[in-house]
Homo-oligomer: A and B are copies of this chain.
């Protein structure tokens, strides 16, 4: 090794030792007769000192070292006179006796600091320099630890990690596939997996009982912020289980990660039906770190000549504690917020329950104080609280109020990064009706089993069927989702029929799975976690990109390696394809 120690490990107890360190020049300070250099490696920073009086030649040479030069130094560990107790190595420095420049560096296009002066685009282009920043290193170390602990837990629970193929078969159902032309089979294509769903089910048919894989998945979607064309899943499946076995097992995984990574003990996760989550929070991924739950007010507010409420399918509000003193300006900001297209409300009604017991409201001409008392009572509001009400189409209004609730949570500091409140959302609808194509789509995927008691509805009222499906939600973020699968060929066939597949389509696309179900498929179910997002939630960040070593931008490009790119005519020819100019 070109070092005896790393830059993160020398302590006061090492004083006097002769050491060799290697690393990067983080910064350099000339203080008259002394030159100090912070030498950085993955493990930390150690201060080097060069003394002009003791060794003027060496000190002069050290002054030539630029930022990000790679050097190897030899010297003795010395106790610092001016200790920095915030740094693990802050009690010592190295009195350098000799150094070698292992490589020079041009001046980086941005500073390698937590608060860098480099913009997003520049940092992506020079991602190998961006990754030197402490924050990115911490994120990737967290990701590593998450994967280690995930594997430890699942291996201890008898799960086998089985690698499934990346070159599979394109299926039109679901999101768009990335495809790979086959040179050996001209005119034919592989697809990259959107998930190993069918393979993990086949592994259950094969008797593997407990499978997992930390695996890359691919979706050729138009990228919104925080979507990546390739992303990583913790993909899991179990046999001979009921839903609660799966919830218990993976609640165990989440608790294990909270304990091992963040040293937090988390009690049993609440389980909330989809309907309840929609009613109480207007979301199937509620942030339950704070209350401010929805209160439906139709019965109290209708028939008082306020047309907006009278015409509304749903009038629903939240009670914001201790905010009756909100100013006109603050309330206008909130109205502007709910009117944003991505929130989608037409307006907002407020009712202030003033400290003196009176009410101030944007709709006071329609409602008496007596009405407001009733509303306040229904909403659990007291003096000094602010009630915010939205009205309109039920689904849209819930969505808008959900956004408003989260906004108020942010404004009031109720969404703390280090407060973790996971829950299971269960009993999702099995199907969604699509007006455009006039057909049902599977809300989860076509292999999801209905709740056993709802199976008769397949023939009578499919849209009312609840799926035996579940999501793990942490702090308003969907971390994972799964379901008990259909393991019966007839039921699977019926499901494909309801989804509008012809027999031929179903056979073409999923014939191998349906055939497999004829040879003794066990009852099974599973779950998949978005690993990038899991890491982001643990890291306290909104952006999965911060937890991916080499992410792509919103056009699906890797700007560092400049990909995708054109390929040669010879390659195209070998693959028997041609590019069609637009």
Contact check: which of B40, B182, B207 meets A131 at CB < 8 Å? B207
Per-residue contact bits, chain A 509-523, to B (CB 8 Å; 1 contact, 0 not): 001100011111111
Contact check: which of B40, B207, B216, B521 meets A42 at CB < 8 Å? B207
Given A519-B68, A579-B576, also A141-B167 (CB < 8 A): no
**A194–B106 Cα gap in the complex (Å)?**
31
Q: Does A556 contact B (CB under 8 A)?
A: yes
Q: In the complex, are the beta carbons of A574 and B144 less than 8 A apart?
A: no
Contact check: which of B144, B179, B192, B511 meets A567 at CB < 8 Å? B179
Chain A residue total in the interface (Cβ 8 A): 126
Q: Does A577 contact B (CB under 8 A)?
A: yes
Q: Does A418 contact B (CB under 8 A)?
A: no
Minimum CB–CB distance from A223 to chain B (whole Å) comes to 8
Provide the residues of chain B in CB contact with A40, threshold 8 Å: 207
Q: In the complex, are the beta carbons of B105 and A189 less than 8 A apart?
A: no
Q: In the complex, are the beta carbons of A520 and B558 less than 8 A apart?
A: no
**A568–B505 Cα gap in the complex (Å)?**
12
Q: Does A271 contact B (CB under 8 A)?
A: no
**A557–B140 Cα gap in the complex (Å)?**
36
Contact check: which of B165, B209, B222 meets A550 at CB < 8 Å? B165
Contact check: which of B189, B229, B242 meets A566 at CB < 8 Å? B189
Q: Does A170 contact B (CB under 8 A)?
A: yes
Q: In the complex, are the beta carbons of B24 and A555 less than 8 A apart?
A: no
Q: In the complex, are the beta carbons of A577 and B579 less than 8 A apart?
A: yes
Q: In the complex, are the beta carbons of A565 and B188 less than 8 A apart?
A: yes
**A551–B568 Cα gap in the complex (Å)?**
29
8 Å CB interface, A199-216 against B: 199, 202-203, 205-210, 216
Provide the residues of chain B in CB contact with A161, threshold 8 Å: 144, 147-148
Given A70-B522, A187-B579, A578-B577, also A141-B160 (CB < 8 A): yes
Q: In the complex, are the beta carbons of B578 and A519 less than 8 A apart?
A: no
Minimum CB–CB distance from A244 to chain B (whole Å) comes to 10
State the copy count for this chain: 2
Q: In the complex, are the beta carbons of B144 and A160 less than 8 A apart?
A: yes
Minimum CB–CB distance from A289 to chain B (whole Å) comes to 30
The residue of chain B having its C-beta at the shortest distance from the C-beta of A199 within the complex is: B550
Provide the residues of chain B in CB contact with A241, threshold 8 Å: 1-2
Given A216-B163, A558-B168, also A189-B132 (CB < 8 A): no
Provide the residues of chain B in CB contact with A580, threshold 8 Å: 573, 576-578
**A207–B401 Cα gap in the complex (Å)?**
46
Q: In the complex, are the beta carbons of A519 and B108 less than 8 A apart?
A: yes
Q: In the complex, are the beta carbons of B560 and A512 less than 8 A apart?
A: yes
Minimum CB–CB distance from A516 to chain B (whole Å) comes to 5
Contact check: which of B68, B511, B522 meets A520 at CB < 8 Å? B68
SS of A interface (majority): loop
Q: In the complex, are the beta carbons of B578 and A578 less than 8 A apart?
A: yes
Q: In the complex, are the beta carbons of A571 and B103 less than 8 A apart?
A: no
Interface centre among A147, A206, A576 (most CB of B within 10 A): A206
Minimum CB–CB distance from A410 to chain B (whole Å) comes to 31
Minimum CB–CB distance from A533 to chain B (whole Å) comes to 14
Per-residue contact bits, chain A 146-184, to B (CB 8 Å; 1 contact, 0 not): 011001000100001111111111101000111111111
Minimum CB–CB distance from A503 to chain B (whole Å) comes to 16
Given A165-B230, A565-B170, also A176-B574 (CB < 8 A): yes
Per-residue contact bits, chain A 46-81, to B (CB 8 Å; 1 contact, 0 not): 000000000000000000000011101000000000
The residue of chain B having its C-beta at the shortest distance from the C-beta of A515 within the complex is: B126
Provide the residues of chain B in CB contact with A160, threshold 8 Å: 140-141, 144
Minimum CB–CB distance from A423 to chain B (whole Å) comes to 23
Q: In the complex, are the beta carbons of B179 and A181 less than 8 A apart?
A: yes
Minimum CB–CB distance from A79 to chain B (whole Å) comes to 26
Q: In the complex, are the beta carbons of A522 and B42 less than 8 A apart?
A: no
Q: Does A41 contact B (CB under 8 A)?
A: yes
Provide the residues of chain B in CB contact with A232, threshold 8 Å: 163
The residue of chain B having its C-beta at the shortest distance from the C-beta of A521 within the complex is: B103
Q: In the complex, are the beta carbons of B192 and A180 less than 8 A apart?
A: yes
8 Å CB interface, A220-244 against B: 220, 222-223, 229-230, 232, 240-242
Q: In the complex, are the beta carbons of A564 and B199 less than 8 A apart?
A: no
Provide the residues of chain B in CB contact with A147, threshold 8 Å: 161
Provide the residues of chain B in CB contact with A70, threshold 8 Å: 520-522
**A100–B53 Cα gap in the complex (Å)?**
89
Q: In the complex, are the beta carbons of B552 and A167 less than 8 A apart?
A: yes
Q: In the complex, are the beta carbons of B68 and A102 less than 8 A apart?
A: no
Minimum CB–CB distance from A451 to chain B (whole Å) comes to 17
Q: In the complex, are the beta carbons of B205 and A549 less than 8 A apart?
A: no
Provide the residues of chain B in CB contact with A111, threshold 8 Å: none
Given A207-B132, A520-B70, A578-B580, also A568-B182 (CB < 8 A): no
A-B contact pairs, 6 of them (CB 8 A): A68-B520, A103-B487, A132-B207, A169-B563, A179-B180, A181-B577
| Given A167-B178, A179-B567, A184-B222: 15 more A-B contacts, CB < 8 Å | A103-B523, A128-B205, A128-B519, A129-B519, A131-B203, A132-B207, A163-B548, A165-B552, A169-B558, A172-B568, A179-B575, A185-B564, A202-B550, A576-B579, A577-B577
For the complex of A and B, 4 pairs with smallest distance between CB atoms: A105-B520, A131-B206, A169-B563, A188-B564
